[in-house]
C-alpha cells in the first residue's frame, strides 16, 4: 500500500509541477487533468482489496479527505481583457456589481486604489504584454513611391515624357540605336531627375510631419505607482494604473471612477453630444479614452488601453493630413497660375514661330543645310523635328511655371517647424507659422509665461499682524489652517519612508501652499485626512477664483466649511476674523479697510494674495436635515492671508521690448488683482512706471465687460493690462481687437481659454501648465511656457514670409530672363538657344536647389526692426520688383548679345556659342542667388557662413554645371569651353553683384507697382 501511495503521490507531484513555458490553455488543461488524476488515484486506494487488516489500519489512520490547492495560472492577473473592455464600453453596471465595484476590479488587477500598481519594470512589462500598450495603430505612412506617382500626375511632365518617348523612337529609327537615343534619352533622364528630387523633398517633409504628430500626441499624465504620485507619458499607461484627472485633462484610457468630486466630462468627441456627462461612483462610474474633463477632479482606474478602447479603434483609421494649405500657399497658387498663363502664351507663340519657320524652309541643320525641303524630306525627319519643337515649347512652359513656389513654402515651413521645436515652440497648424509674421498684438497670461511659475509663500498674516515665527500661532488656529490646506486641495504629498525629503504634486500655487504648511507649520496631511470625511467639494476654476470644501470631523461629528482663493473675493465673504492670538472678532468697516490695505500692499510687491476662511455649521442645521450639498458662502471667519511670490522670468523684459520695437503691442491679461498685475506688468516692461493705475492702460475685467461696444472699441488699443479677468473677458478683448483690424496672438493654458484661443488669429497654448483642451484649441504650443519663446515664434513667422519673398524674387528673375531670351531668339533666328535638357537643368537649379538654399535662412535681428507684414499687402513688393527687373534686364541684355554676336566676339562656332549662353545663364542664377539673400540690405554676404546648407548648394550647383558642360557633351548638347571662355562667363555673371548693390540705392514708391498698370 505504501508503495502504491508513494507512486501515486510522486505522479501527482509531477503533474502539479506545471512548466512556466507552457501556453495558458495548455496550463489549464494540465491542471484539470491533475485534479481528475488525483481524485481517481484516491478512489482506487479506497477500492483496492489489499490485506484487509493493513488496509483498515492505514485507512483509519488517514484523514477522511484530501485538500488540493490547485491555482489556475491563467496569466498575470485574475481578469481577462474581454471582460474589462465590455465592462466599460457597454457601461455594464450589473457586471461591475458582480466584480464588487471598482475596488473589486482593482483587486483583480492586483492594483491598489490608493497606491496604484507596483512600479517595478517587470510588473509594468507583464501588464503591457497581457493587456497591450496605450498606443494605437496608425495608417501606414506614404512611401517614396507615392510621391513619385504624384509627380507623374503633373500634365507638363506627362507631355514632356511623351515628347521624349517620340523623340527617342524617331531618333533611333533615323540615326540608329547608337546615335539616335541622345535627344530623347537626355530629356527622359532630366525629367526623371526633376521627379526624383521633387519626390524625395516631399517624402522627407511628410516624415517630418509624422514625427511632429508623435510629439504632439505625447501627453504627460499624473499617476500614482507604489504610493508615489508622478508624471508619465500617456503611452506608458498600463491596465491597473490609478490616474489623477483635473479640469482640462484628456482621459488617457478607458476606466472606472474611483474617487473625486463634481466630475463632469465632455464626451462630444465620442458621442457628438455637447452636454457634459456627470461621472461618479453610481450610477455612472465609466470613463472613456479621448474625452475631456470639463469640471471637477477625480482618480480613475485604468481598465483598457490602446486598441482595446473605442478611441483607439477610431484614431487608428484617422491620419493627419500634412497637406493643409495655408493662406500664403493659396496666394502663391494664384501667382503661379498667373505666371503659368504668361508662360503658356509665350510657349505657344514660340511653337507657332518655330513650326512656321521650319515648314517654310528657314531653319538649318548642323551642316548648314535646310531642314525641310518639301517632298525630299523624310516623314521620320519631319516628325522628329516637330517633336523637338514641341518639346522645346513644353520645356519653356515647365521653366515658366514656378512649381518651386509651393515646394519653397513647404520646405521653409517644414524647416521652420523643426527649428522652432528646438526653440521650444511646437507648431500644430501650418498656417500659424506665417500668420505670426503679421501679428500686431499679443495678449499674454502672467503666471508661468511672464513669471517663472516657481511659487513660494513669502508673507503670512494672522488678523492684522504679519507673522514671522510660526511657533507663536495658537493651537486651534493652527489646526484650522492645516484643515484648510490639507483638505481643500487638489495637490498631494509623497515622502519615501527612508528619506526625509517631501515631494509635492499639483498646480504651482497648491505646491507652494502645501510646501509652506508642511515645512513651516509642521502639517501632517495624512493624519488630518484620516480625522475628517469630505462631504462636498466645489473645485477651483478661473471664473470663481476660489475653492470650497464641506467636511465632517469623525470624532465629534461636527461639520465645517472651508474656503480658499483670491484674497479680496474671500474677504468679501467674511463677517469676522481670527486675530493673531486665535480669538474671533467681528469685522467692521475699519477692519475691512485694514485688510484691503494689507492685500494691496502685498499685491504692490508682486505677490499673489490667497486667503483662508472657515465656518462651523451649527448642529441644528445638519441635525434637521438641511441641504448640505451647497457649501455656505457667507458669514465666514477669515483665518489667514498668505502672499506668494512668483518671480519674473529672466529675459522677459528684453523679449517684451523686442516685440514692442517690432511694432507689436503686448497686453497682459491676468486673473490677479489690479495691484499685483500692475506691479508685474511694470517689472516686465509692459507698463511704464509713470503710467498711473487710474488711466486707461490698466482695467479690470468686470469694468471692461460693462463698457458699451463703442467704448470698448475706443479704449481697447490703450489697454495694456486687464486684471481680475475671466476667460470671457479675454474672448471679448480678442474680438474687439480683430474688429479693429489687428492680427491677434493669444496665450492660454486653461480649459476656459479655449474659446479665446480659437477666436484669435494665432492661439498659443502652454506646454507645461496648459490643459489638453487648451492645447487642442491652439495653433502653436509653447513648450517651456516662456514669453521669450513667444517672441521667438514672432521672429520665425516673419522669417517664413521673408524667405518666401526671397525665393519669389529669385525665381521670377529666372522666369523673365528665360522667357524673353527664348521668345526673342525663336522669333528672330528661328531657334531656341537653350535646349529642353538645359532648360530642365535650369528648372532643377531654380526650383528645388534654389528653394532649399533660400527657404532655410535663419531669422535675423533685423526682422524685428520692421513693422508687421500686412496680410493684404502684395506678395511682390516694389523693392522686389526693382531688384528682379534690374537683374532680369541685365541677363536678357547679355544673353541677346551672345545670341546675335557671340560667334564673332569669341570667334567660335554656333554650338560653342549656345554653350556659352547656357553656361552664362546658369552662372548668372548662381550669383543672383546671393543677391536674393537680402531684399533691402546692401551687404548680401552678412551671416552667410552660418548657413552651411546655402554654401553647400551653391558648391554642388557649380560642380554639376562644370560636369554638364565639360563631361556630358551628348547628354546636355554642349561643347567644352576653354579657360578664357569660362573666365568670361564667370566675369559676366559676377557683374550681377555690383548691379544688385547699385540698384538698392534707388528709392521705391509706397504705391504697389501693379497698381500703376490698372486703368
Q: Give the residue numbers marked as catalytic.
A: 445
What distance lies between CA 190 and its chain's CA centroid?
A: 38
Q: How far apart are CA 996 and CA 935, in angstroms?
A: 10
Q: How far apart are CA 860 and CA 944, in angstroms?
A: 12
Give whole-number Cα distances, 470 to 133, 517, 519, 805, in Å: 49, 10, 10, 64
Q: How far apart are CA 82 and CA 104, in angstroms?
A: 17
Nearest in space to 347 (alpha carbons), one of 198, 163, 166: 163
CB 260, CB 297: distance < 8 Å? yes
CB 421, CB 212: distance < 8 Å? yes
Q: Cis omega (within 30 of 0) on the bond before 332? A: no
**Residue 686 CB contacts under 8 Å (≥ 6 apart), including other chains:** 656, 666, 667, 668, 720, 721
Q: How far apart are CA 792 and CA 425, in angstroms?
A: 8
Read out DSSP for 249-313?
A: PBP-SEEEEEEEEEEEEE-HHHH---S-EE--SSS--EE-TT-EEEEEEEEEEEEE-GGGSHHHH
Decide: helix, strand or coil at residue 502: strand
CB atoms within 10 A of CB 63: 6
Residue whose grid cell is 520688383: 881
Nearest in space to 389 (alpha carbons), one of 826, 825, 828, 912: 826
**Looking at the DSSP assignment, which residues form a beta bridge with residue 230?**
223
What is the β-pairing status of strands 441-444 and 744-748? Answer: parallel
Residue whose grid cell is 463698457: 707
Q: How far apart are CA 657 and CA 667, in angstroms?
A: 12
Angle between helices 182-217 and 836-844 (to 10 degrees): 20
- Backbone phi, psi, residue 167, to 5°: -60, -40
CB 704, CB 474: distance < 8 Å? no
Q: How far apart are CA 205 and CA 322, in angstroms?
A: 9
Burial of 903 (0-12, 13-18, 19+ CB in 10 A): middle
Nearest in space to 255 (alpha carbons), one of 215, 293, 287, 292: 287
All three cell numbers of 745, joined, read: 496672438
All three cell numbers of 780, joined, read: 502653436
**Residue 907 CB contacts under 8 Å (≥ 6 apart), including other chains:** none
Nearest in space to 552 (alpha carbons), one of 569, 565, 534, 573: 534
Q: How far apart are CA 122 and CA 127, in angstroms?
A: 9
**Looking at the DSSP assignment, which residues form a beta bridge with residue 665?**
441
What is the β-pairing status of strands 665-669 and 636-645? Answer: unpaired
Helical ranges in 68-226 per DSSP H:
81-89, 93-98, 101-108, 121-131, 144-152, 155-180, 182-217
What is the β-pairing status of strands 698-700 and 721-723? Answer: parallel
Amino acid at each position: 500500500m505504501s508503495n502504491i501511495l508513494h507512486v501515486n503521490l510522486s505522479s501527482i507531484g509531477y503533474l502539479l509541477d506545471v512548466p512556466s513555458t507552457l501556453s495558458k490553455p495548455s496550463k489549464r488543461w494540465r491542471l484539470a487533468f491533475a485534479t481528475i488524476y488525483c481524485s481517481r488515484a484516491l478512489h482506487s486506494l479506497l477500492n483496492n482489496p489489499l490485506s484487509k487488516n493493513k488496509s483498515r489500519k492505514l485507512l483509519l489512520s488517514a484523514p477522511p479527505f484530501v485538500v488540493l490547492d490547485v491555482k489556475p495560472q491563467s496569466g498575470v492577473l485574475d481578469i481577462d481583457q474581454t471582460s474589462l473592455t465590455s465592462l466599460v464600453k457597454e457601461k455594464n453596471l450589473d457586471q461591475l456589481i458582480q466584480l464588487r465595484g471598482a475596488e473589486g476590479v482593482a483587486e483583480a488587477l492586483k492594483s491598489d486604489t490608493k497606491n496604484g500598481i507596483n512600479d517595478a519594470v517587470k510588473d509594468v512589462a507583464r501588464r503591457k504584454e497581457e493587456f497591450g500598450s496605450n498606443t494605437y495603430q496608425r495608417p501606414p505612412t506614404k512611401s517614396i513611391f507615392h510621391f513619385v506617382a504624384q509627380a507623374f500626375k503633373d500634365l507638363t511632365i506627362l507631355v514632356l515624357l511623351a515628347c521624349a518617348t517620340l523623340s527617342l523612337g524617331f531618333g533611333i529609327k533615323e540615326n540608329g540605336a547608337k546615335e539616335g537615343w541622345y535627344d530623347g534619352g537626355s530629356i527622359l533622364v532630366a525629367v526623371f531627375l526633376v521627379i526624383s528630387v521633387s519626390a524625395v523633398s516631399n517624402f522627407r517633409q511628410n516624415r517630418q510631419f509624422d514625427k511632429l504628430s508623435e510629439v504632439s500626441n505625447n501627453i504627460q499624465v499624473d499617476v500614482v505607482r507604489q504610493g508615489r504620485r508622478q508624471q508619465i507619458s500617456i503611452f506608458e499607461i498600463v491596465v491597473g494604473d490609478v490616474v489623477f484627472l483635473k479640469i482640462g485633462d484628456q482621459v488617457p484610457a478607458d476606466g472606472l471612477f474611483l474617487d473625486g468630486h463634481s466630475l463632469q466630462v465632455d464626451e462630444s468627441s465620442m458621442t457628438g453630444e455637447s452636454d457634459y456627462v456627470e461621472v461618479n461612483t453610481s450610477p455612472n462610474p465609466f470613463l472613456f479614452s479621448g474625452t475631456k474633463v470639463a469640471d471637477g477632479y477625480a482618480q480613475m482606474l485604468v481598465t483598457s488601453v490602446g486598441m482595446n478602447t473605442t478611441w483607439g479603434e477610431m484614431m487608428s483609421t484617422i491620419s493627419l493630413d500634412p497637406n493643409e494649405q495655408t493662406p500664403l500657399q493659396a496666394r502663391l497658387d494664384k501667382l503661379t497660375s498667373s505666371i503659368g498663363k504668361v508662360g503658356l502664351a509665350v510657349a505657344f507663340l514660340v511653337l507657332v514661330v518655330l513650326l512656321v519657320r521650319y515648314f517654310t524652309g528657314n531653319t538649318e541643320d548642323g551642316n548648314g543645310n535646310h531642314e525641310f525641303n518639301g517632298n525630299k524630306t523624310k516623314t521620320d525627319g519631319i516628325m522628329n523635328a516637330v517633336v523637338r519643337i514641341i518639346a522645346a515649347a513644353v520645356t519653356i512652359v515647365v521653366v515658366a511655371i514656378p512649381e518651386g513656389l509651393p515646394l519653397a513654402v513647404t520646405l521653409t515651413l517644414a524647416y521652420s517647424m523643426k527649428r522652432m521645436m528646438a526653440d521650444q515652440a511646437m507648431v500644430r497648424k501650418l498656417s500659424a507659422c506665417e500668420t505670426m509674421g503679421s501679428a500686431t498684438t499679443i495678449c499674454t497670461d502672467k503666471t508661468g509665461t511672464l513669471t517663472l511659475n516657481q511659487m513660494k509663500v513669502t508673507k503670512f498674516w494672522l488678523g492684522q499682524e504679519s507673522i514671522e515665527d510660526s511657533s507663536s500661532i495658537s493651537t486651534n488656529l493652527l489646526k484650522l489652517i492645516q484643515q484648510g490646506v490639507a483638505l481643500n486641495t487638489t495637490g498631494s504629498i509623497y515622502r519615501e519612508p527612508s528619506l526625509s525629503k517631501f515631494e509635492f504634486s499639483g498646480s504651482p500655487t497648491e505646491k507652494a501652499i502645501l510646501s509652506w504648511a508642511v515645512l513651516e507649520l509642521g502639517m501632517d496631511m495624512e493624519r488630518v485626512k484620516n480625522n475628517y470625511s469630505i462631504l462636498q467639494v466645489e473645485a477651483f476654476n478661473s471664473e470663481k477664483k476660489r475653492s470650497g470644501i464641506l467636511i465632517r470631523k469623525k470624532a465629534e461629528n461636527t461639520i465645517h466649511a472651508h474656503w480658499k482663493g483670491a484674497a479680496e473675493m474671500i474677504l468679501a465673504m467674511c463677517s469676522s476674523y481670527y486675530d493673531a492670538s486665535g480669538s474671533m472678532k467681528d469685522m467692521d468697516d475699519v477692519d475691512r479697510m485694514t485688510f484691503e490695505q494689507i492685500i494691496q500692499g502685498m499685491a504692490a510687491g508682486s505677490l499673489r494674495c490667497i486667503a483662508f476662511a472657515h465656518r462651523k455649521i451649527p448642529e441644528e442645521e445638519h441635525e434637521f436635515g438641511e441641504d448640505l450639498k451647497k457649501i455656505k458662502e457667507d458669514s465666514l471667519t477669515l483665518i489667514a492671508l498668505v502672499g506668494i511670490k512668483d518671480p519674473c522670468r529672466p529675459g522677459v523684459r528684453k523679449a517684451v521690448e523686442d516685440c514692442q520695437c517690432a511694432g507689436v503691442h503686448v497686453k497682459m491679461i491676468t486673473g490677479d488683482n489690479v495691484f499685483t498685475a500692475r506691479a508685474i506688468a511694470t517689472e516686465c516692461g509692459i507698463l511704464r512706471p509713470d503710467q498711473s493705475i487710474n488711466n486707461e492702460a490698466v482695467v479690470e475685467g468686470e469694468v471692461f465687460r460693462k463698457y458699451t461696444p463703442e467704448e470698448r472699441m475706443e479704449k481697447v488699443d490703450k489697454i495694456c493690462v486687464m486684471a481680475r479677468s475671466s476667460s470671457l473677458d479675454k474672448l471679448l478683448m480678442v474680438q474687439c481687437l480683430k474688429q479693429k483690424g489687428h492680427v491677434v496672438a493669444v496665450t492660454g493654458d486653461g480649459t476656459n481659454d479655449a474659446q479665446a484661443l480659437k477666436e484669435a488669429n494665432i492661439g498659443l497654448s502652454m506646454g507645461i501648465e496648459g490643459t489638453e483642451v487648451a492645447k487642442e484649441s491652439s495653433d502653436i504650443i509653447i513648450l517651456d511656457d516662456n514669453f521669450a519663446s513667444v517672441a521667438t515664434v514672432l521672429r520665425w513667422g516673419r522669417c517664413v514670409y521673408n524667405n518666401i519673398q526671397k525665393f519669389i524674387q529669385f525665381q521670377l528673375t529666372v522666369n523673365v530672363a528665360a522667357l524673353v531670351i527664348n521668345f526673342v531668339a525663336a522669333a528672330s533666328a528661328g531657334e531656341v538657344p537653350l535646349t529642353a535638357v538645359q532648360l530642365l537643368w535650369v528648372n532643377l537649379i531654380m526650383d528645388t536647389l534654389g528653394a532649399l538654399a533660400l527657404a532655410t535662412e535663419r531669422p535675423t535681428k533685423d526682422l524685428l526692426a520692421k513693422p508687421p507684414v500686412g496680410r493684404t499687402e502684395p506678395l511682390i513688393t516694389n523693392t522686389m520688383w526693382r531688384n528682379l527687373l534690374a537683374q532680369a534686364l541685365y541677363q536678357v541684355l547679355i544673353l541677346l548679345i551672345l545670341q546675335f554676336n557671340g560667334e564673332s566676339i569669341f570667334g567660335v562656332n554656333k554650338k560653342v556659342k549656345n554653350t556659352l549662353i547656357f553656361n552664362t545663364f546658369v552662372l548668372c542664377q548662381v550669383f543672383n542667388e546671393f543677391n536674393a539673400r537680402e531684399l533691402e540690405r546692401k551687404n548680401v554676404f552678412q551671416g552667410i557662413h552660418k548657413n552651411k546648407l546655402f554654401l553647400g548648394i551653391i558648391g554642388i550647383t557649380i560642380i554639376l554645371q562644370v560636369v554638364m558642360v565639360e563631361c556630358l557633351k551628348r547628354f546636355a548638347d554642349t561643347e567644352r569651353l576653354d579657360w578664357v571662355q569660362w573666365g568670361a562667363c564667370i566675369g559676366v555673371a559676377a557683374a550681377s553683384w555690383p548691379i544688385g548693390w547699385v540698384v538698392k540705392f534707388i528709392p521705391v514708391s509706397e504705391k504697389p507697382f501693379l497698381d500703376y498698370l490698372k486703368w
